[in-house]
Amino acid sequence: MLKIASWNVNSIRKRISQLCSFIIDNQIDIVLLQEIKCTEEQFPYLEVQELKYEYAIYGQTTRNGVCILSKYPILEKLRINLVEGYHDARYVECVVKYDDYNIRLASVYVPNGNNEFEYKLRFLNKLSERMIQLLKNEEITIVAGDYNIAPDDIDVFDPHLLHDQVCFHINEREKLRTIFNFGFTDAFRISHPDLQQFSWWHYQGNSVRNNHGMRIDHILLSPQAVDKLEACYTYEKLRKLENPSDHAPVICCLSSS
């Protein structure tokens, strides 16, 4: 079985020990990270290499940044600026060789939208175009990350309070729904049709204790990947550690056959 995790780490250098423990304890084969908040030169290569993982990185000074760590060989790496004129390290893609087939993976960090909501919508449009293109390849494809969108009422702690707020605004939810309609599937929701479980909790206001969260981190699968899906779940333990990221990882398991 292949274990793939997506996690907004909120600074990889601050949480490299948490990351390494998470990978080892949970036997994670591939990790897609967001908000690594460092350049390629600042990346903690030593710790990753000690795990014997390969990497594809698109870094940026102090903010944003995405990367993919893989136990298996990485055959191809792509750093893509989806929106023309913006170079803000939000999308990295690679092809991993696993047994006798290839898997295409992308780690994506969608803009939050608090300051530039229109940019967020433009980014989602360009992400949709890229994902449609990927579907045409008919490959096992996974596009995972911090989408900064809770799709449905069940994915937020209070849909009335958060109605048309950023990360739960109807315009961005429609953009995500369009991606679903094109043929990508939300791995968590297909595994748990009626479960309310979140992936992000604010640092303030006892959000974790009161479970005032949102499910904004998603692992989206092509039809070829859905055929291999065994399970998908949120790993809340990391959010409850001392000095945690405000996000919890999402993990999906694919069959090897």
Binding site as annotated, residues: 8, 35, 146, 148, 246-247
3-state SS, one letter per residue, for 165-230: CCCCCHHHHHHHHHHHHHCCEEHHHHHCCCCCCCCEECCCCCHHHHCCEECCEEEEECHHHHCCEE
Alpha helices in 63-167 (DSSP H): 117-136
247 catalytic? Reply is yes
Contacts of 10 (CB under 8 A, 6+ apart): 35, 37, 245, 246, 247
Nearest to 232 by CA among 210, 214, 255: 255
CB 46 within 8 A of CB 27: no
Binding site as annotated, residues for Mg(2+): 8, 35, 146, 148, 246-247
Q: CA-CA distances (angstroms) from residue 83 to 89, 100, 127, 175?
A: 11, 35, 9, 15
Q: CA-CA distances (angstroms) from residue 81 to 68, 231, 242?
A: 16, 31, 34
From 146, 155, 186, 217, the catalytic residue? 146
From 91, 147, 217, 247, the catalytic residue? 247
101 catalytic? Reply is no
From 58, 109, 147, 217, the catalytic residue? 109
88 catalytic? Reply is no
- Name residue, tokens 């908040």: 37
CB 145 within 8 A of CB 107: yes
Work out whether the CA dihedral 79, 84, 87, 88 comes out positive or negative.
negative
Q: If DSSP codes are grouped into helix, strand and coil, which group holds residue 22?
A: helix
List, by residue number, the catalytic residues: 109, 146, 247
